[in-house]
């Protein structure tokens, strides 16, 4: 290939409108990586290197060049979106005034620690360099525990604009701004007009969509500007954005149904202005802004139907650790929260979030958050609830360092904290904008600098009002998604009609499952299906009995597992009978390369004679595992979600619903669902164990616990019946997280314990 190197070189000249300067451009079209490398090697200011349309697989591009402000060096797709970078590929940038345009990273992952990296090595980095109109789509590591960043920004004055970036499942922030060294501080990076598409729940920490600096560089002046981006269902962890440096700005972004918050985790003096947070009441995990540290100004933001609380509150102001270690929680001081509007967020303000003095027995002193916010101003905000809600403030400690001035609400305030500066009054509401007739505003120190509203309207006239919006004609929820991301990529896939495929034989089942499209339903005729091969599930598929009253019976002699759950395998089993030979699992994930989440729902099904109901591998993650209205019997083990034992906050499934089942003669434990390590970055797992009857189980259980849920944060445990299970403990619940047994019937089966404070391994 190296011998067949050839170029097409097109020379032409044209006017650069911006500087009225005549120059000649070299456009070099390349068709493979060797040509590309050769073109890069020769590139001069003003050059265009054009990647011919096609797939570039397993390429590691080092784009090094030295452009000028007037004549950058451009690396672009022949047609935006028609050039894809696939396989084990990445792109590194070094030099200055470079532009990368129109590339599509997909069907692969980086062989290094980043997909696009704004540096070549320790010495050569990129400045004044732009990546624009590109897509990085599910370019995720096969192993959830493998760490990378998709975009790693070094240097100064770089731009990430108009890109679509979505689908990272593995460890590590999607976009990371690095500040390690004087060359990378005061960077004034522009992260603008991007569409950050869904990032799935990770089931562990380090799932941020963006992080700017880290605790070790949190004293750095960063000055990164994150503006006009659309964050759509960025659900990776509790922090959608983690700001960990000084003087960053977050302006006019939209956070749409994202399960997390914009978190000022380390560093100080951030500006959060004019952003829209939309919850749509969709989930109690959707947050707003969480405040830690000093000197932040939070102004002109609009919060809509956010149900989150505590860490995920619309506005969470944390307690700090006195004299905090650098990587933990500094006290909030000198924060200003002014001119924000909260619409149908029942309790917008949560103060002293994270206060944990009560956990002194299980936490070291250096983890106790007892330093309350101080010198903090809350002024000129509007709180509107269509149905008035009388608890606008939730406090987890005294609120003695916060001054409320001229905040207006249409509800009473029955909260423990009753500041004079929170005033009940009538509020108008039109175009989703609440407004107040009073013109009484607080003119705090430097408040004259808040001279525009969310839409840029002037605040300096007499028409200034409380809340994010001065002029009430423009609906803040009327968001034009076309403003964000590329000019060519559409994230929405065309909907395919799901079809029902009738199956009557074992061979037919094998074949149909292989050939089905995602979303299809396999409907099994009544009868017995002998299956000596594992059924592989790598798409969304439902397997059901045609006759609910005469269920199809699947008898497995396959080794290892009956069903093999693959990444993106979303299996729904409805009304079947599943029988094993006692040596295999009913359901099992791949041992490795569980790139993306899978899901499993089992309804109205009889499962018997398996080694285990579900077995998973360490790196696997199920968004949901649900077993309902089913009977499980004569299995050695039940539902096993216990392989993620790194004790760093990761776990194997987000939601586990076990309801209305009977478990009979399960040898060891019925459920084993584990999360280890003292971490607060995630939802922390959810177990609903209700209305089940468990009998004659646990005979060979070594730890003498029938239902294991250690470290899982959210647990409901109610209305179950336990009979004749020879264990000491039915379950251990975690009191501090509000877990309590309700209405369970226990006979001859040990007891349910509640431990108030669970001692977890410290990760810090």
Residue with tokens 């731009």: 159
Closest-CA residue to 302 (of 350, 258, 251, 268) = 251
Please report whether residue 660 would count as binding a copy of itself according to CB under 8 A.
no
Phi, psi of 562 (to 5 degrees): -75, -55
Is the CB of residue 88 less than 8 Å from the CB of residue 65? no
**Cβ proximity to a copy of itself, 365 vs 702, nearer residue:** 365
Please report whether residue 326 would count as binding a copy of itself according to CB under 8 A.
yes
The least CB distance from residue 356 to a copy of itself, in Å, is 18
Is the CB of residue 15 less than 8 Å from the CB of residue 22? yes
* CA distances (Å), origin 228, targets 144, 231, 473: 30, 10, 21
The least CB distance from residue 122 to a copy of itself, in Å, is 10
Residues numbered 229 to 288 that lie near a copy of itself (CB under 8 A) are 246, 268-269
Whole-number Å distance between alpha carbons of 231 and 25: 37
Beta strands in 139-200 (DSSP E): 149-153, 159-161, 164-166, 175-177, 190-192, 195-196
The least CB distance from residue 329 to a copy of itself, in Å, is 11
**Cβ proximity to a copy of itself, 316 vs 335, nearer residue:** 335
Q: Which stretch binds a copy of itself (CB under 8 A): 232-240, 329-337, 534-542, 724-732?
A: 329-337
* CA distances (Å), origin 323, targets 221, 267, 332, 397, 401: 21, 15, 12, 18, 17
Q: Which stretch binds a copy of itself (CB under 8 A): 182-190, 303-311, 608-616, 664-672?
A: 182-190
Give the distance, in angstroms, between the CA of residue 715 and the centroid of all CA atoms in the same chain: 21
**Cβ proximity to a copy of itself, 57 vs 328, nearer residue:** 328
Judged by CB under 8 A, the residue of 5, 107, 188, 221 near a copy of itself is 221
Is the CB of residue 383 less than 8 Å from the CB of residue 344? no
Give the x-and-dash track for 184-213 against a copy of itself (CB under 8 A). -x----------------------------
Give the distance, in angstroms, between the CA of residue 112 and the centroid of all CA atoms in the same chain: 22
**Cβ proximity to a copy of itself, 325 vs 735, nearer residue:** 325
The least CB distance from residue 217 to a copy of itself, in Å, is 8
Phi, psi of 87 (to 5 degrees): 70, -150
Phi, psi of 365 (to 5 degrees): -55, -35
Whole-number Å distance between alpha carbons of 681 and 238: 5
Is the CB of residue 730 less than 8 Å from the CB of residue 706? yes
* CA distances (Å), origin 230, targets 196, 197, 234, 303, 531: 6, 8, 10, 15, 48
Please report whether residue 294 would count as binding a copy of itself according to CB under 8 A.
yes
The least CB distance from residue 564 to a copy of itself, in Å, is 43
Residues numbered 593 to 652 that lie near a copy of itself (CB under 8 A) are none
Judged by CB under 8 A, the residue of 90, 194, 225, 293 near a copy of itself is 293
Size of the site for a copy of itself (CB under 8 A): 29
Rg (CA), the chain: 28
Whole-number Å distance between alpha carbons of 244 and 206: 14
End-to-end Cα spacing for the chain: 51
Is the CB of residue 466 less than 8 Å from the CB of residue 380? yes
Please report whether residue 183 would count as binding a copy of itself according to CB under 8 A.
yes
Give the x-and-dash track for 444-463 against a copy of itself (CB under 8 A). -xx-----------------
* CA distances (Å), origin 293, targets 247, 263, 322, 404: 12, 11, 12, 19
The least CB distance from residue 326 to a copy of itself, in Å, is 5
The least CB distance from residue 235 to a copy of itself, in Å, is 29
Residues numbered 345 to 404 that lie near a copy of itself (CB under 8 A) are 366, 375
The least CB distance from residue 157 to a copy of itself, in Å, is 14
**Cβ proximity to a copy of itself, 158 vs 617, nearer residue:** 158
Q: Which stretch binds a copy of itself (CB under 8 A): 284-292, 325-333, 399-407, 561-569?
A: 325-333
Q: Which stretch binds a copy of itself (CB under 8 A): 43-51, 235-243, 318-326, 591-599?
A: 318-326
Please report whether residue 69 would count as binding a copy of itself according to CB under 8 A.
no
The least CB distance from residue 248 to a copy of itself, in Å, is 14
H/E stretch holding 514 reads helix 506-515
Residue 221: count of CB within 10 angstroms of its CB:
15
Judged by CB under 8 A, the residue of 181, 456, 735, 738 near a copy of itself is 181
**Cβ proximity to a copy of itself, 97 vs 556, nearer residue:** 97
Whole-number Å distance between alpha carbons of 517 and 429: 47
The least CB distance from residue 454 to a copy of itself, in Å, is 22
Residue with tokens 């505003």: 441
**Cβ proximity to a copy of itself, 214 vs 668, nearer residue:** 214
The least CB distance from residue 222 to a copy of itself, in Å, is 12
Please report whether residue 220 would count as binding a copy of itself according to CB under 8 A.
yes
**Cβ proximity to a copy of itself, 297 vs 722, nearer residue:** 297
The least CB distance from residue 757 to a copy of itself, in Å, is 23
Whole-number Å distance between alpha carbons of 587 and 554: 13
Q: DSSP string covering 56-77, please? A: EES-EEEEEEE--SSS-EEEEE
Residues at the contact surface with a copy of itself, assessed by CB under 8 A: 180-183, 185, 215, 219-221, 246, 268-269, 293-295, 323-328, 330, 334, 336, 366, 375, 445-446, 764
């Amino acid at each position: 290939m190296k011998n067949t190197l050839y170029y097409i070189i097109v020379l032409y000249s044209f006017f650069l409108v911006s500087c009225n300067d005549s120059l000649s451009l070299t456009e070099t079209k390349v068709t493979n990586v060797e040509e590309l490398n050769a073109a890069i090697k020769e590139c001069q200011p003003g050059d265009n290197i054009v990647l011919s349309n096609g797939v570039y697989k397993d390429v590691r591009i080092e784009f090094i060049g030295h452009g000028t402000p007037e004549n950058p060096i451009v690396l672009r797709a022949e047609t935006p979106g028609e050039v894809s970078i696939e396989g084990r590929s990445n792109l590194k940038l070094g030099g200055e005034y470079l532009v990368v345009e129109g590339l599509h990273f997909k069907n692969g992952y980086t062989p290094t620690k980043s997909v696009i990296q704004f540096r070549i090595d320790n010495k050569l980095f990129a400045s004044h360099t732009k990546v624009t109109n590109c897509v990085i789509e599910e370019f995720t590591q096969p192993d959830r525990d493998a760490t990378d960043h998709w975009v790693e920004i070094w240097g100064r004055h770089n731009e990430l604009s108009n890109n679509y970036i979505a689908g990272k499942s593995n460890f590590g922030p999607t976009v990371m701004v690095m500040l390690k060294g004087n060359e990378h501080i005061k960077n004034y990076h522009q992260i603008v007009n991007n569409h950050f598409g869904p990032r799935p729940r990770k089931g562990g920490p380090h799932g941020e969509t963006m992080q700017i600096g880290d605790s070790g560089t949190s004293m750095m002046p960063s000055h990164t500007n994150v503006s006009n981006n659309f964050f759509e269902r960025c659900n990776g962890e509790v922090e959608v954005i983690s700001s960990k440096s000084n003087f960053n700005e977050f302006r006019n972004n939209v956070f749409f149904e994202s399960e997390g918050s914009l978190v000022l985790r380390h560093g100080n003096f951030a500006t959060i202005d004019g952003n829209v947070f939309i919850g749509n009441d969709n989930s109690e995990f959707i947050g707003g802004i969480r405040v830690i540290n000093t000197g932040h100004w939070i102004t002109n933001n609009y919060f809509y139907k956010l149900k989150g609380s505590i860490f995920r509150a619309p506005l969470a102001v944390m307690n700090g650790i006195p004299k905090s270690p650098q990587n933990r929680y500094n006290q909030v001081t000198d924060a200003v929260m002014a001119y924000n509007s909260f619409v149908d967020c029942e309790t917008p303000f949560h103060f002293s979030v994270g206060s944990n003095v009560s956990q002194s027995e299980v936490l070291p002193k250096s983890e106790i958050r007892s330093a309350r916010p101080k010198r903090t101003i809350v002024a000129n905000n509007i709180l509107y609830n269509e149905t008035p809600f009388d608890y606008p403030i939730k406090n987890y400690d005294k609120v003695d360092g916060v001054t409320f001035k001229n905040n207006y609400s249409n509800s009473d305030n029955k909260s423990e904290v009753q500041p004079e500066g929170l005033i009940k009054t009538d509020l108008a509401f039109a175009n989703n904008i609440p407004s107040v007739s009073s013109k009484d505003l607080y003119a705090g120190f430097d408040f004259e600098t808040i001279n525009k509203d969310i839409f840029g309207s002037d605040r300096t006239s007499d028409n200034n009002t409380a809340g994010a919006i001065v002029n009430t004609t423009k609906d803040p929820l009327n968001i034009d998604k076309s403003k964000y991301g590329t000019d060519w990529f559409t994230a929405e896939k065309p909907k395919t009609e799901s079809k029902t495929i009738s199956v009557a034989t074992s061979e037919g089942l094998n074949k149909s499952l292989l050939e089905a499209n995602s979303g299809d339903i396999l409907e099994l005729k009544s009868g017995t299906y002998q299956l000596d091969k594992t059924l592989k599930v790598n798409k969304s598929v439902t397997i059901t009995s045609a006759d609910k009253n005469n269920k199809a019976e699947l008898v497995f002699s396959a080794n290892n597992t009956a069903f093999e759950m693959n990444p993106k395998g979303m299996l729904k089993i409805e009304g079947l009978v599943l029988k094993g030979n006692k040596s295999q699992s009913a359901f099992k994930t791949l041992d490795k390369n569980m790139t993306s989440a899978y899901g499993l729902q089992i309804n109205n099904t009889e499962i018997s004679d398996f080694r285990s109901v579900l077995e998973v591998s360490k790196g696997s993650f199920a968004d949901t595992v649900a077993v309902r209205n089913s009977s499980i019997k004569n299995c050695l083990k039940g539902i096993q979600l216990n392989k993620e034992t790194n004790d760093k906050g990761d776990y194997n499934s987000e939601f586990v619903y076990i309801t209305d089942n009977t478990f009979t003669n399960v040898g060891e434990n019925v459920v084993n669902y584990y999360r280890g390590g003292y971490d607060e970055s995630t939802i922390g797992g959810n177990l609903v164990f209700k209305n089940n009857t468990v009998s004659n189980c646990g005979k060979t259980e070594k730890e003498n616990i029938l239902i294991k849920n250690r470290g899982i944060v959210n647990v409901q445990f109610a209305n179950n019946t336990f009979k004749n299970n020879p264990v000491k403990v039915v379950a251990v619940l975690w009191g501090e997280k509000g877990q309590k047994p309700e209405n369970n019937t226990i006979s001859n089966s040990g007891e349910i314990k509640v431990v108030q404070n669970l001692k977890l391994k410290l990760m810090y």
